[in-house]
Amino acid sequence: MILEIKFYGRGGQGVVMASQMLAEAFFRAGFYPQCFSVFGGERRGAPVEGFLRVSKERIRLRCGITNPDHLVLMSVDLFVPELFCSIKEGGLVLVNSKGLPYELLASKGNLKLAHVDAQGIADSVGLGRAINTAVLGAYCRLLPELDLEVLRQVVRESVPAKVEENLKALELAYQEVTLVE
């Protein structure tokens, strides 16, 4: 079985790095990852998409991901109801938000929704706009296939600065994520 994940956020939030770090964590957990990103030459704040495909078997697909199993929405202002239409039945959506806005709940269908205030966590530990490690901590909590210790090690080796702050954001988000049934 192949798990397909889409990260959707804005430039400067760490969308690309989040998908790359998650790919490395899955690799260390014995999966085959395939990671790629889509963004233009726009400046900070423009929409950015990161994609990750993982499987216990070698992945032979070489195409984009149009119907992901999971969506990690790093910027809630990018939400449009049509976004949920592309997610597979019973899929998971993780949103960077203090709570879930009505528009998201109204569009839920049979999707599982979770939220974490990744921006608030990043601000509280001194990371500013870079919310990628907070988002990864929350996402790790929602996936039984991932071990937080493996993700900690990947973060230690991957982030160029503020390592302790990033690890703190990872831990806090892991503890604070809320799954809405």
66 or 181: which carries more pLDDT confidence? 66
Domain map (residue ranges) of the chain: 2-180
Provide CB contacts within 8 A for 72, sequence distance 6+: 5, 6, 7, 8, 9, 18, 93, 94, 135, 139
- What are the pLDDT digits (tens) for 84-121? 899 999 999 999 999 988 888 888 889 999 999 999 99
Where does the pLDDT of residue 42 fall: very low under 50, low under 70, confident under 90, or very high at 90 and above?
low
145: pLDDT strictly greater than 80: yes
Average pLDDT, integer, range 136-143: 98
Mean pLDDT of the chain: 94
Instruction: Tell whether the model's pLDDT for residue 49 goes beyond 90.
Output: yes
* CA separation for the pair 164, 155 (Å, rounded): 10
Residue 26 carries which side chain, given as an amino acid letter?
F
Instruction: Please name the helix (run of DSSP H) or strand (run of DSSP E) that holds residue 86, with its range, or none.
Output: none
pLDDT in tens, 148-164: 999 999 999 999 899 99
Overall average pLDDT of the 38-43 stretch? 73
Assess if CATH 3.40.920.10 describes domain 2-180. Answer: yes
Is 125 in contact with 165 (CB distance < 8 Å)? yes
- Per 3-state DSSP, what percentage of the chain is helix, strand, and coil (rounded to 5)? 40, 25, 40
Of all residues in the chain, the percent with pLDDT exceeding 70 is 99
Task: Look at residue 40 and tell me whether its pLDDT is greater than 90.
Answer: no
pLDDT of residue 45: 83
